[in-house]
Amino acid sequence: MFPAAFDYQSPATLDEALGLLAERGDDAKVMAGGQSLIPLLKLRFAQPQLIVDIGRIPGMTEIKRDDGHVKIGALARHVDIERSKELAKLLPVMVEAVRWISDPLVRNRGTLVGSVCHADPSGDWGSIMLALDAELVARSAKGERVIPIDGFFEGPFTTTLRSDEIATEIRIPLPTGRAGGSYHKLERRVGDFATVAVSLQIELDGNKVKKAGIGLTSVGATNIKAKKAEQALVGHELKDDVIAESAKLAAEAAEPKDDIRGTAAYKKDVVRVFVQRGLKAALGRAQEVKA
Amino acid sequence: MRVNGAERSGDVEPRVLLVDFLRTNLALTGTHVGCDTTSCGACTVLLDGEPVKSCTLLAVQVDGREIKTVEGLANGAALAPIQVGFHEEHGLQCGFCTPGMMLVASALLERNPNPTDDEIRWAISGNICRCTGYMNIVKAVQYAAKMHSEAAKAPAAAAVAGGGE
Ligand SMILES: Cc1cc2nc3c(=O)[nH]c(=O)nc-3n(C[C@H](O)[C@H](O)[C@H](O)COP(=O)(O)OP(=O)(O)OC[C@H]3O[C@@H](n4cnc5c(N)ncnc54)[C@H](O)[C@@H]3O)c2cc1C
Ligand code: FES
Ligand code: FES
């Protein structure tokens, strides 16, 4: 298989890339790791006239801590997250989750920001970013804007990013105090997309939950932020009845379909079970953190 | 681009995949096409030392960079340790997956000279073998790891022997 013909540019600076998109954005596609885009081009599900390869733009591979955030550049690959000592310390849930994404070869090319922009409802990073309340930084020739991840996904493979914009980094607020997260994924075989996956993050104030994040993968038209299930936790101790109520609300927020990976009813139940397990795991981890 | 240490160039359309450039333009047919959908790893090459799927990379993306294919493993007639390992431990049957397996394994040994069986299994988890089975492949990688560590010890031993004279 090979793609339909296209023009290819690999600009050396961000400004040059933004200039190309300002002119031809509607006919163009940005390429980062290409691990979702190239398969789509080969199947001819995407036939852009121009590919703007941002892979050679310097300064976008960083993962760094910066006033209350971790910033992850557009070219930081899955493998960079897997090996990041900083993230293992600050947001271990990301390092745990990345090992569930595809296989080592795809992780050597694919990027977190690319995954989020791709907006596959079965993608893992989207729900992790929803649980962590991340923000995306988007640049165009006209300037920069910061987009909260909640509301960024509009539908399968569609986001609020404009065709003249490049997402330059994602910012994740650092949890304060005692916090913990976990990621639970059901897949049919190593490297497969999720049948169901659930991302959890909690922050404690004493024994009570101060902040909670719950993101759902593969159970709707987009990655879903289970807000009612999050709210059911805030202000409470994580006792069994509180956990059960939140898990029930998360299952209600899921909108899965019957497919080869399972029935809708089964997937909803997996959400419920994963939220229960995940909250207990996240609580255990939060309690290990010294205040 | 540099392929197996030599400068190679070609004029290709942007849509040409790296695997097709290697196989068709450079006649390096050791890089295989299995699934053509980024799933099997038969097309694995090393890009600047890291294993990637060449069916999911455009040749133009590699402009100016370093590629290693299975043809670049041996040093003339001398097989690389990973090749000796696959030979000794019967790590292949039909050989279709073998170039990818050996390249992934050689990149692993470069970063981690003494991998556990688990680490080897993890490293090859993006490469599918449909006939040998993974037991012997893991053994083959362990064999190569042992060859590497013995080779690393040998010069030191020789130096000690030399110094003793
Ligand atoms: C076999 C296989 C299995 C996989 N399994 C999983 C899995 O289990 N879980 C999972 O989450 N993912 C999985 N993936 C997808 C993988 O994680 C991709 O790496 C990821 O989805 C896309 O990242 P990329 O950098 O390769 O993006 P690209 O392929 O380069 O781009 C994807 C899309 O995002 C846009 N885009 C990319 N970067 C930017 C940017 N900075 N600004 C604006 N737009 C941008 C592109 O225009 C394109 O539309 C799998 C992929 C394969 C091939
Ligand atoms: S041919 Fe490239 S992964 Fe199968
Ligand atoms: S040796 Fe035949 S596929 Fe692996």
Domain limits of chain B?
1-72, 74-158
Q: How far does the centroid of ligand 3 lie from the alpha carbon of residue B32, in Å?
A: 12
Q: How far does the centroid of ligand 1 lie from the alpha carbon of residue A36, in Å?
A: 4
Q: Is the pLDDT of residue B18 over 80?
A: yes
Q: Are B125 and A104 in contact (CB under 8 A)?
A: yes
Long-range contacts formed by B112-120: CB under 8 A, 24+ apart: B113/B145, B113/B148, B113/B149, B113/B152, B114/B145, B114/B149, B115/B141, B115/B142, B115/B145, B117/B142
Rounded Cα distance, A248 and A239, in Å: 14
pLDDT tier for residue B162 given thresholds of 50, 70 and 90: very low
**Residue B122: Cβ-neighbour burial (10 angstroms; 0-12, 13-18, 19+):** middle
Q: Is A114 in the pocket of ligand 1 (CB under 6 A)?
A: yes
Helix spans in chain B (H): 18-20, 81-88, 98-111, 117-123, 134-164
CATH of B74-158, one of 3.20.20.190, 1.10.150.120, 1.20.1730.10, 3.40.190.10: 1.10.150.120
Q: Which residue of B has its CA nearest to A10?
A: B61
Q: Retrieve residue A93's tokens.
A: 């849930």
Q: Determine the pLDDT at residue A177.
A: 86
Rounded Cα distance, B120 and B141, in Å: 7
pLDDT tier for residue A231 given thresholds of 50, 70 and 90: very high
The per-residue pLDDT of chain B, averaged, comes to: 93
Give pLDDT tens digits for A163-212.
Answer: 999 999 999 999 988 999 999 999 998 888 999 999 999 999 999 999 99
Q: Are A161 and A201 in contact (CB under 8 A)?
A: no
- Substitution target in B38, B50, B54 with the highest count of A β-carbons within 10 Å is B38
Q: Determine the pLDDT at residue B107.
A: 98
The preferred substitution site among A20, A30, A81, A166 for testing ligand 1, maximizing ligand atoms within 8 Å of CB, is: A30
SS in 3 state form for chain A?
A: CCCCCCEEECCCCHHHHHHHHHHHHHHEEEECCCCCHHHHHHCCCCCCCEEEEHHHCCCCCCEEEECCEEEEECCCEHHHHHCCHHHHHHCHHHHHHHCCCCCHHHHCCCEHHHHHHHCCCCCHHHHHHHHHCCEEEEEECCEEEEEECCCCEEECCEECCCCCCEEEEEEEECCCCEEEEEEEEECCCCCCCCCEEEEEEEEEECCEEEEEEEEEECCCCCCEECHHHHHCCECCECCHHHHHHHHHHHHHHCCCCCECCECHHHHHHHHHHHHHHHHHHHHHHHHHCCC
Nearest to A195 by CA among A269, A137, A129: A269
pLDDT tier for residue B153 given thresholds of 50, 70 and 90: confident
Give pLDDT tens digits for B75-129.
Answer: 999 999 999 999 999 999 999 999 999 999 999 999 999 999 999 999 999 999 9
Give pLDDT tens digits for B33-44.
Answer: 999 999 999 999
Q: Are A238 and A279 in contact (CB under 8 A)?
A: yes
What's the pTM? Answer: 0.95
Q: How far does the centroid of ligand 2 lie from the alpha carbon of residue A163, in Å?
A: 30
Distance from CA of B156 to the nearest CA of A (A): 32
State what percent of residues in chain B have pLDDT above 70: 93
Instruction: With CB atoms and an 8 Å threshold, state whether A34 touches B52.
Output: no
Q: Determine the pLDDT at residue B85.
A: 97
Q: Is B112 in the pocket of ligand 2 (CB under 6 A)?
A: no
Amino acid at A162: R
Residue A104 with chain B: CB contacts under 8 Å: 51, 104, 122-123, 125-126
Give pLDDT tens digits for A97-110.
Answer: 999 999 999 999 99
Please report the domains of chain A, with CATH numbers, ordered by start residue. 7-53 (3.30.43.10), 63-173 (3.30.465.10), 179-286 (3.30.390.50)
Q: Determine the pLDDT at residue A169.
A: 98
Q: Are A150 and A130 in contact (CB under 8 A)?
A: yes
Q: Is the pLDDT of residue A265 over 50?
A: yes
Domain made up of B1-72: CATH architecture: Roll (3.10)
Q: Which residue of A has its CA nearest to B36?
A: A1
Q: Determine the pLDDT at residue B22.
A: 98
Q: How far is CA B72 from CA A41, A55, A105, B100, B104, in A?
A: 30, 26, 19, 12, 13
Give pLDDT tens digits for A127-175.
Answer: 999 999 999 999 999 999 999 999 999 999 999 999 999 999 999 999 9
Q: Determine the pLDDT at residue B156.
A: 60
Q: Is the pLDDT of residue A291 over 80?
A: no
Q: How far does the centroid of ligand 1 lie from the alpha carbon of residue A74, in Å?
A: 11
> How are beta strands B2-3 and B66-68 bridged, if at all?
parallel
The predicted model gives B13-29 an average pLDDT of 97
Rounded Cα distance, B15 and A4, in Å: 7
Rounded Cα distance, B144 and B86, in Å: 8
Beta partners for residue A140, in sequence order: A143
Residue B102 with chain A: CB contacts under 8 Å: none
| Torsion sign over Cα A205, A211, A213, A214 | positive
pLDDT tier for residue B155 given thresholds of 50, 70 and 90: low
Question: Which 3 state secondary structure label does DSSP give B155?
Answer: helix
